[in-house]
Structure 1
């Protein structure tokens, strides 16, 4: 029997163990079969519920632990029953976040299936160099329960005459009720709300609470009027205990919640406190006014009263403020202090009234205090201008001297509500107690030129906002001028745009055709308050010849000023030779004409004068020989300074050029000596005399012939002359003999022409 008793004890313990760990569920129960044990020793016969269904039929729990704002990074570990949590069945995930201040926040989540966790609590362990010992935090977790069903464990053993079984009951929590023998209260009827009346001044009051149900344990939480329990009242197990005498503050609606896992029961207790009947003692009333931190503090106190007085405030319509009160007790008397906070300044005279109610007064006592109106602020506004980076800026300051608190300053432009950004200085407290507030705006003068800038001041001493306005003047538009000129030391032309004025930027630009790029440069300097800017543009003449170039100035407000200059169009039509020349036409036709002239041999400083036909006032003119050597030029003339020889004869090419315009002329120079010239003159004279003589003879002969024809009328006399006039040719083409009949007609049709070619010199 002794051995059977020990085995029975082990069975009872195993059933009790199962009772603590099992709960409701719908899955099967795992039973450990064939347990081997030594007779006389304690052994647990195990049965375990496999789990309520959440993820793939398994219920999981997660516990989070965080360590925020540490440096270096803290370390988090988990303990279960005082030992580190094993990898199975526990899983841990860690998230480390580095904050902007260099510290780190670490969070760890412990996750496990409920049916594999035997302990009802887990512990988070945080280690960090700043902690002398690891920080431990324990949280309760759910253990597996099998509720709502009867769970029976059966055991077989050779010593048993038949199988033993134990059944785990279903748990329920029906409700809670009051049970307090000391107060003579024993309410056996269950209800959601209980009423309890206490007497002020009672000591050591214990209110017992009884749970209706069969749960093995439960948690209890109580609160009063949705807040914490009052001072002097605490929860002791499942009872409410009042330490010290019962006071009025203990009255209220209490709510106590009893819970076991998901089972919950709530009991509401309405506790009332009946006051002692005592002789009232009137309070001592005092009213005080102070100014602190820009506010007026009105204090109304009702001290040393029995019972405590009630203090309230009465203010004029439209006036509001912040109020609070505090309560103190000493030797059975009570003092109440009411405080009302108003702005330190007001545009009206205000009267605040403190109202005190107390049983010792037949009528409420009133205490009033008058708040005088504040002095109006002194507002000044001024402006100044400055040049910076070629731009004119305007700065406007608005300052307000007032009683505390500091005035609020804003800015508006024109007649609209458009506000502009400003810089506000820290308020300064002057020796006389006044506060100075200053605000400034700085802007490009052209942005608000011609508009009004308004400083708007708001202050408690003002019934409405006050404004101060300043006009921003309009500055004259800058003077714009343009010109274009040749550059002496460059093949490029230069267009110049000058701009002068106050308060304008250097945003000048040449308006050029599309895809045209040129070399531009900007130079600016100050002349007093005025800014002078020059924008230049270099370009080849052929790019813009005959076109207009426009310089454009664009203001910050979008206004555009333009000036245009015309680039002339030039031309060179010809280079003329002013000396007497004989033109020579190319034998092939259509080619250029060559001008032929003669120079005297052995003469000095002979010149060939040239004239350039065109519309330019300046050009380049040079001449060179056919071998490429240049000829000495004096302005518009080729000058042969040394004696002219046969070597100077030949073809000369003269070129007149103006940038890309160019015209040439060819001159064939011949050199004539004095002997050749004399011979030519002589030959010319002889030739001329011979020609004159021949003409005279022919004329005389013709006249004689006519006279003879009239007298003798011999046709034969004409035959010899006619034969002389016939051109040589074949007999077939010879003219027939002239008859006497035709001689008169034929004589009238014959004429004579003599050509004399005489060369001349310069």
Structure 2
């Protein structure tokens, strides 16, 4: 019965209860003392109606799985009853059980509560479930237990007409004897239980089933005659979800007593689909021959065997696939065992070694839309099969994407070619290795090509003075293939200026120019660096030194004398004389310093400019006394300046003669005065010497006459003589002072 039928039964039951619900059961003011889980219920007052309990079990199959639904309904209860479930005396867990609860309220105030417990049959092992109904009209919870369907898989039986009944109870293993050569052998396995279906797997001696034995349904079928290798311990396992059963049975093969007939042995060699195919056959043997392959150490191949029987004789055909090419000479042996042979028979075939492949590698570059690409190509010419080609970058395990193609040539050789195309910047300056693997090589062979890095751009820097502007311009030129516009000036801290970038292309060559305008005073004596950052990550720099200039002085080349400052700070001007009345007189100047050029201007003290001819101050007209005065000349180069002051005097021949006469007369007077003074000094000195002689003599006489110091008897100096002596001394001092000045 499905869920719809169950719902219909519930509705008809509810209508029946509505007809009887008008009869009052009674009044109750006492609470229901406890529930199944010992929790208190609230007090209920009013008319109580005892529910009618009904439990039903239904089943259905959905998507091949068997499900059961147990419905528990409490009809016509007031108040609403409570329904719960017990499975194995415990509330069911969430999985695999589901509970659906529905409530219907009737017009007479009663209600019907229905609870449906659903579960898949194969996921639970209990054969019963219990519905628990609690209601105030019931003295204790009502438990209704119903039986549900369960699956079991109790065991497996072996059915075979010729089976010997000598099973080993301790090991649970049955025995089955087959005859060598018998055909149409079927071993049936019967499952004991009620599972709807099951999975079965069989194995022999903990391995796969032998060749010729297949599992069909729940039976083992031996295709062809029974052979001795069919003997062994078989184990078959049956399962349905968590239910499992296992059967072990031992199969023995009773040999037939026959007269052996030796096989006819033949070995053939051919090349097919890039392989050497060695075929060995042992035909028309009784019994069947046993065949195997013996290969050198380290050599493996694919092999298989076919068995055919005709009129009681057996033929075995073995096929061995070896690579069509090998770096060594190898020998493969076909080994045949048969009762007619005293020793195994061997048949061998020797395969020669292969010629080594011819490997070539080359590369080329191509520029497209200003971007350089590199094409690499690795070609291998070899005997079949084609070589395997891979690429590797540097010493790492990084590989690149490539395209491969294979072509079979007319002479039977195979040409393999692998090519790759990539941005040159990706692997610039690295080695790209082509690795070739081929059957003729003992180890992979490599060919390496170096991916050239981009040519360094040609960089140049210069500094240019701007015409009619106080600014200088630093220029950075960068020329080369694929040159970008990543140019930048690295300036000293806090430096600011105007930069501009211009680029142009001529074929593959691109030129970029970065300029920077600045005042000379900002970077004089510093270094500006131009940096180029290529798209490949390489950096090129070029340094531009900005010269440091100075003007130390402006000097006068004409004969001049310095005029000292009254404050003692050195000369403040250069004094020179020009001839009065002469035309085109020049004052030659020279600017001291390292400046490449300069502006030289001269002006009078009143601010009027003087005509200049290069570095010469020119007086074109006749000189007059009005041209005398102080002149100032200034040399300038941007912010560097130097000034010289020139005191110009205008002289003539008459003035020179008058000055010469005055000088001569002054000189003569000075000489006469000096001679007079000298004569006077001499005369005065002579007279004093004579007087001192007389005084000394008289003193000596007195000393001889009476004792005492000569000074006691020293006569007094005459007053007139004293005055004359004082005047002489004073005059001499004056003369000394004048000479000093």
Q: Deviations over 1:423-442 (max 9, x none)?
A: 89645433212234568999
Choose from 64, 84, 93 the match for 1:59.
93
Match of 2:271 in 1: 291
Q: Would the aligned equivalents of 1:222 and 1:254 in 2 still touch at CA under 8 Å?
A: no
Residue 587 to residue 438, structure 1, CA distance change in 2 (3 Å): same
Q: Would the aligned equivalents of 1:49 and 1:144 in 2 still touch at CA under 8 Å?
A: no
Match of 2:631 in 1: 652
- Alpha-carbon distance between aligned partners in 1 of 2:655 and 2:610, rounded to the nearest angstrom: 34
Secondary structure of residue in 1 paired with 2:724: helix
Secondary structure of residue in 2 paired with 1:118: strand
Deviation at 1:412, TM superposition (A): 11
Match of 2:588 in 1: 609
Choose from 214, 229, 236 the match for 1:255.
236
Q: Would the aligned equivalents of 1:117 and 1:143 in 2 still touch at CA under 8 Å?
A: no
Report matched runs for 1:534-573 at 5 Å.
Answer: 571-573=550-552
- Alpha-carbon distance between aligned partners in 2 of 1:583 and 1:164, rounded to the nearest angstrom: 139
Secondary structure of residue in 2 paired with 1:61: coil
TM-score (norm 2): 0.54
Choose from 607, 619, 624 the match for 1:640.
619
Residue 331 to residue 609, structure 1, CA distance change in 2 (3 Å): same
Deviation at 1:688, TM superposition (A): 6.2
Q: Would the aligned equivalents of 1:30 and 1:49 in 2 still touch at CA under 8 Å?
A: no
Q: Would the aligned equivalents of 1:484 and 1:567 in 2 still touch at CA under 8 Å?
A: no
* Segment of structure 1 superposing worse, 311-320 or 181-190: 181-190
Root-mean-square deviation (Å) = 7.5
Residue 566 to residue 258, structure 1, CA distance change in 2 (3 Å): closer
Q: Would the aligned equivalents of 2:279 and 2:320 in 1 still touch at CA under 8 Å?
A: yes
Q: Would the aligned equivalents of 1:203 and 1:245 in 2 still touch at CA under 8 Å?
A: yes
- Alpha-carbon distance between aligned partners in 2 of 1:319 and 1:31, rounded to the nearest angstrom: 73
Residue 686 to residue 379, structure 1, CA distance change in 2 (3 Å): closer
Aligned pair 1:223/2:201, yes or no? Answer: yes
Match of 1:352 in 2: 332
TM-score (norm 1): 0.53
Match of 2:643 in 1: 664
- Alpha-carbon distance between aligned partners in 2 of 1:701 and 1:264, rounded to the nearest angstrom: 158
- Alpha-carbon distance between aligned partners in 2 of 1:612 and 1:164, rounded to the nearest angstrom: 128
- Alpha-carbon distance between aligned partners in 2 of 1:446 and 1:166, rounded to the nearest angstrom: 84
Deviation at 1:350, TM superposition (A): 2.9
Report matched runs for 1:134-283 at 5 Å.
Answer: 142=123, 145-146=126-127, 168=147, 175-176=154-155, 178=157, 192-197=172-177, 207=188, 209=190, 211=192, 217=195, 219-225=197-203, 234-235=216-217, 240=219, 253-257=234-238, 264-271=244-251
Match of 2:23 in 1: none
Aligned pair 1:746/2:727, yes or no? Answer: yes
Deviation at 1:664, TM superposition (A): 0.6
Q: Would the aligned equivalents of 2:291 and 2:337 in 1 still touch at CA under 8 Å?
A: yes
Deviation at 1:667, TM superposition (A): 3.1
Deviation at 1:312, TM superposition (A): 1.5
- Alpha-carbon distance between aligned partners in 2 of 1:406 and 1:220, rounded to the nearest angstrom: 50
Residue 16 to residue 595, structure 1, CA distance change in 2 (3 Å): closer
Deviation at 1:618, TM superposition (A): 5.0
Q: Would the aligned equivalents of 2:293 and 2:335 in 1 still touch at CA under 8 Å?
A: yes
Secondary structure of residue in 2 paired with 1:60: coil
- Alpha-carbon distance between aligned partners in 1 of 2:131 and 2:671, rounded to the nearest angstrom: 177
Report matched runs for 1:595-634 at 5 Å.
Answer: 595=574, 604-614=583-593, 619-625=598-604, 630-634=609-613
Q: Would the aligned equivalents of 1:325 and 1:337 in 2 still touch at CA under 8 Å?
A: yes
Deviation at 1:59, TM superposition (A): 1.9
Report matched runs for 1:367-446 at 5 Å.
Answer: 367-378=347-358, 401-406=381-386, 426-436=405-415
Residue 585 to residue 694, structure 1, CA distance change in 2 (3 Å): closer
Residue 419 to residue 193, structure 1, CA distance change in 2 (3 Å): closer
Deviation at 1:654, TM superposition (A): 1.1
- Alpha-carbon distance between aligned partners in 2 of 1:15 and 1:333, rounded to the nearest angstrom: 75
Q: Would the aligned equivalents of 1:175 and 1:190 in 2 still touch at CA under 8 Å?
A: no
Q: Would the aligned equivalents of 1:288 and 1:298 in 2 still touch at CA under 8 Å?
A: yes
Report matched runs for 1:86-125 at 5 Å.
Answer: 116-118=116-118, 120=120
